[in-house]
A and B are shown apart, each in its own frame.
Chain A
Amino acid sequence: MKNIALFFILLPLSVCAKTITVGSKAFTESYVLAEIAKVLLEKAGFTMEHKQGMGNTAIVWQALTSGAIDMYPDYTGTISRELLKKKELTHDQLAVELRKLGIGITGDLGFDNRYALTMKRSMAAALGIKNISDLRNHPDLRVGITHEFQTREDGWPLILSAYGLNMSNVRGIQHTLAYVAMQKDEIDITDAYSTDSDIAKYDLVTLDDDRNVLPRYRAVFLYRLDIDPKAIIALQPLVGTIDEKRMIGLNAEADKTKNYALAASKYFDKATQEQAIAHTESSMTYILRLTGQHLIIVGISMAAAILVGVLLGIAASSGGFVGSGIMSLTGVLQTIPSLALLAILVAVPGLGVGKQTAIVALFLYGLLPIVRNTATGLQDIPTPIRESAEALGLSRLAILTKVYLPMASRTILAGIKTSAIINVGTATIAALIGAGGLGEPIISGLAVNDPGKILQGAIPAAVLALLVQFFFDLLDRAFIPRGLRLKPATE
């Protein structure tokens, strides 16, 4: 989290160099590798930015191909199967295929991070389970695996078919929470990466892939071919320098200290480590910075949602085909899960990965309460009032602005308030596409199973929601005409 401080230090040196952005996926190893690359390139004189914890492989890949990020760490198995949709390719074949897409690949960093199935050492011993084949005799064991592993063709489906397993109790679960569930004896088996430091921490054993079906996942960096060649050269020293043991050590360090930059500095010499400690941003400035990012995303998306939502609500209030069309559409938007909506939007030309996409997503989510309340508020205006306004001889616009909207103001503002509060909470998803905000500690905290880190984001977000509520209560006084707030006189 030292990028701000470092930015100012390096600013004079790098005025002409373009900032290089490194991305990472939302798990410890990816964060650490990205931080290592960051330090490496900073030492080479580049200004670096780390967009951390992006939602999933598809999003981070889209970010790379669209230029939102310049490089990120990935694994050969994932690249061949998930990104190129091919069978396992050799490193040379990968380089050829990626080059066609304008992407380069570094040499092997030195370790393999393949998928593994893991369970408690005590249970494995008790049941006599050593390798995956042994699971055939225990179809009742409860399996809790990540959603990605569950659907990837080189993951769970491959294991099932290759080993002829018939497990009856399988469900999807977030990776870090899987370890928690395992500690509470709610699941028996989960998937892990072979370099996962949690395996040692929780005293788990990995089941041997005795039929050798799981593909190899050699760690590499992917980068855009159009970035400064010096940056690509600066990345080369990484190749072949991290073996599995070293990676597990770095991961363990990150999981222990919850400070990825600090863990990454362990890869380098003492001086770099001391620098990392010195530049560690204080929690307070970190949270303030994220809150600022959060407010910008919320502010812009809300302003747009209010403007468009009220207009759509006015259009929808007249009912009919258009009205129900608008209502259904905004309703359907609400049902799209946030990660799915982000994945769709990220693919839209001109959006890509970053703040703008988060803003569009939040804008779309914010519409429903505003549209619905505006339409309802307008429809609820009693007929005598409507007819009086019309009979007076005001223009349609004047009727709307001088009579209808002020009368519906309470309902409209209630919709805006609901939308704003939901928006503040939902804006945490922005971190999934590298747009920052208070979601960042929540997602990275989830990655290392650190409730403290999660609360770093969750508490300010909750406080922000309360402040927004308070702010809109004040707005009620300003916008709802006094005549509508008075209690009826007793005659």
Chain B
Amino acid sequence: MISLHGCGKTYGSVTALHPTDLTFAAGKITALIGPSGCGKSTLLRLVIGLIPPSTGYVEVDGQRLTPANLQEMRWRMGYVIQEGGLFPHLTASDNVQLLSRFLGRENAARLTELCDLTHFPADGLSRYPVELSGGQKQRVSLMRALMLDPEVLLLDEPLGALDPMVRSTLQRELKELFQRLGKTVILVTHDMAEAGYLGDTIVMLREGKIVQQGSLEDLQQRPADPFVTEFINAQRSLVAL
């Protein structure tokens, strides 16, 4: 279980995230949604400790995230970003196994297992990132995040850079994968349909504050703020075109 306690982030006079209390239920999928600059990515990066909070703190399983325990805590979380963040000088296989090798926990069986899980062709493992398609890169990135079988999976717009066809395939596969693994997942997206399709809970942010938190139905039927409806409708009207 991951929770934020009065956790906020400011850069000089700019507030990226106001002090926020939020709990992510274990084994559930939470989608963070909102327009650009709403603080959803900031929130995710606070959880994995890429940026230190200006106020408050993050707790993972009752343990506070500190610079001292950060490295170990990260082994318990997998992190996937838009465009994969793969290391271009390493093959797919080396990207996936970089951390496990560093920790001396090599596991070839796990690699095969992950290929099946993410529908990644085994013969692609020897390829370098430049030789992979966008969808394949995300699969490799997902494999890298899952290699140590972490309890938590953090995804920052993982499908944001993919074309619609690949995107919808991967959305289906991700859903299936989440159900199979039963991990705590935090997913950042700006796509309402994706948030509703994948998330058990949706957290909507605006200008560094949580506007509403609940199921898709909650947000649609019982909006806490006109902005929620506005945001949902904005995406719907595009589809209506």
- Known interface pairs A389-B87, A395-B71, A407-B87. Does A489 touch B99 (Cβ–Cβ under 8 Å)? no
- Known interface pairs A483-B91, A483-B130. Does A384 touch B81 (Cβ–Cβ under 8 Å)? yes
In chain B, residues 147-168, which have Cβ atoms closer than 8 Å to a Cβ of chain A? 154
- Known interface pairs A387-B50, A394-B98, A394-B102. Does A488 touch B130 (Cβ–Cβ under 8 Å)? yes
When the two chains form the complex, which single residue of A384, A392, A395, A491 contacts B133, counting CB atoms closer than 8 Å? A491
Which residues of chain A are near B83, meaning CB under 8 Å? 384
Closest chain A residue to B71, Cβ basis: A393
Q: Are A388 and B130 closer than 8 Å at their CB atoms?
A: no
In chain B, residues 106-158, which have Cβ atoms closer than 8 Å to a Cβ of chain A? 128-134, 144, 154
Would you call A486 an interface residue if the criterion is a C-beta within 8 Å of the partner chain's C-beta atoms?
yes
Q: Are B98 and A392 closer than 8 Å at their CB atoms?
A: yes
Interface string of B4-16 (1 = CB under 8 A from A): 0000000000000
Q: How far is the CA of A409 from the CA of B74 in the complex (A)?
A: 27
Q: Are A394 and B90 closer than 8 Å at their CB atoms?
A: no
Nearest CB on A from B146, distance (A): 12
Interface size of A in residues (CB-CB distance below 8 Å):
26
Which residues of chain B are near A483, meaning CB under 8 Å? 88-91, 128-130
In chain A, residues 464-484, which have Cβ atoms closer than 8 Å to a Cβ of chain B? 481-484
Q: How far is the CA of A392 from the CA of B90 in the complex (A)?
A: 15
Which residues of chain A are near B88, meaning CB under 8 Å? 385, 407, 483-484
Q: Are A486 and B128 closer than 8 Å at their CB atoms?
A: yes
In chain A, residues 390-433, which have Cβ atoms closer than 8 Å to a Cβ of chain B? 390-395, 398, 402-403, 406-407, 409
Which residues of chain B are near A393, meaning CB under 8 Å? 71-75, 99
Q: Are A489 and B81 closer than 8 Å at their CB atoms?
A: no
Which residues of chain A are near B89, meaning CB under 8 Å? 403, 406-407, 409, 481, 483-484
Which residues of chain A are near B85, meaning CB under 8 Å? 384-385, 387-388
In chain B, residues 28-75, which have Cβ atoms closer than 8 Å to a Cβ of chain A? 45, 48, 50, 71-75
Nearest CB on B from A182, distance (A): 60
Q: How far is the CA of A390 from the CA of B67 in the complex (A)?
A: 12
Q: Are B131 and A391 closer than 8 Å at their CB atoms?
A: no
Which residues of chain A are near B50, meaning CB under 8 Å? 387, 390-391
Which residues of chain B are near A85, meaning CB under 8 Å? none
Which residues of chain B are near A491, meaning CB under 8 Å? 133-134
Nearest CB on A from B170, distance (A): 15
In chain B, residues 88-105, which have Cβ atoms closer than 8 Å to a Cβ of chain A? 88-91, 98-99, 102
Which residues of chain A are near B132, meaning CB under 8 Å? 489
Q: How far is the CA of A394 from the CA of B144 in the complex (A)?
A: 13
Which residues of chain A are near B73, meaning CB under 8 Å? 393
Q: How far is the CA of A403 from the CA of B86 in the complex (A)?
A: 10
Nearest CB on B from A480, distance (A): 8
Q: Are B48 and A489 closer than 8 Å at their CB atoms?
A: no
Would you call A270 an interface residue if the criterion is a C-beta within 8 Å of the partner chain's C-beta atoms?
no
Q: How far is the CA of A182 from the CA of B237 in the complex (A)?
A: 88
Q: Are A392 and B79 closer than 8 Å at their CB atoms?
A: yes
Q: Are B81 and A387 closer than 8 Å at their CB atoms?
A: yes
Closest chain A residue to B75, Cβ basis: A393
Closest chain B residue to A489, Cβ basis: B131
Which residues of chain A are near B102, meaning CB under 8 Å? 394-395, 398, 402
Which residues of chain A are near B134, meaning CB under 8 Å? 491
Would you call A487 an interface residue if the criterion is a C-beta within 8 Å of the partner chain's C-beta atoms?
yes
Q: Are A486 and B130 closer than 8 Å at their CB atoms?
A: yes
Nearest CB on B from A61, distance (A): 54
Q: Give 18 new A-B contacts, CB below 8 A, not counting A388-B86, A391-B48, A392-B74.
A: A384-B83, A384-B85, A387-B45, A387-B50, A388-B79, A388-B81, A388-B85, A388-B87, A389-B87, A391-B154, A393-B71, A394-B102, A398-B102, A482-B128, A483-B128, A484-B89, A486-B130, A489-B131
Q: List 7 A-B contacts (CB under 8 A).
A: A384-B82, A385-B85, A385-B88, A391-B79, A403-B89, A406-B89, A481-B90
Shortest Cβ-Cβ A-B pairs, 10 listed = A388-B85, A393-B74, A483-B128, A481-B89, A391-B79, A384-B85, A488-B130, A483-B89, A406-B89, A393-B75
